[in-house]
A = this chain, B = another copy of it.
Amino acid sequence: MPQFEPQDPDYERRVRASFARQRIMETIGATLQLVAPGEVEITLPFREDLTQQHGFLHAGVVTTIVDSACGYAALSLMPPETGVLTIEYKVNLLAPASGARMLARGRVTKPGRTITVCAGEVFAEVDGQEKLVATMTATTMTIRERPGVSD
C-alpha cells in the first residue's frame, strides 16, 4: 500500500470537523475512527431501523459509510482551502450486511490535482471475525472556489 504525504498538515482536524457536519452520521449512529494520510475508517453498530426487507443493513446504509470513508480519505490528501465532492461510485455487495458492527475503510488508490480515486471496503464483525461484505471504487473531485463547497 502506498504512503502518502498530506499537503495540509492540519488534515486530521479538517477531516474530523467536516465529518462532524455530516448530520446523517449522527442519525444512523456512525463514528469516525482512524484518520491517516489517504486512509479513513468509520464504524456503524447494527441497528434494526436501518435494515432492508430481509433484516440486513440496507445497501444504501453500507454505501453511506463507505462513501464517507472514501471521500475523507481523498480529502486528507487535498490542499488547504479546497472541498471534496464524490462524482461517482460503484459498489459490489458480496455478503449480507449482518453482524454486530460494520467497519468501512476508504483508501486512496491514486491522488490527483483534480481527480482522486479511492477504494473502499466494508467488513461486518461476526463472532469476533471480520467478513468482507462490500467493496467500493469511488471517484472524487477537488473543488476550488465554489461557494458552499469547502471542507
A binding-site residues for B, Cβ under 8 Å: 18-19, 21-24, 26-27, 48-55, 58-61, 63-65, 67-68, 83, 85-95, 109-110, 114-115, 117, 119, 132, 135, 137, 139, 141, 148-149, 151
* A27 and B53 in contact, given A63-B63, A88-B91, A115-B141 (Cβ under 8 angstroms): no
Q: How many copies does the complex hold?
A: 4
Q: How far is the CB of A142 from chain B (nearest CB, A)?
A: 10
- Contact status B88-A93, CB under 8 Å: yes
- Contact status B23-A92, CB under 8 Å: no
The A contact surface, by secondary structure, is mixed
Q: Which of A27, A86, A92, A141 has the most CB of B within 10 A?
A: A92
Contact partners of A117 in chain B: CB under 8 A: 88, 92, 94, 135
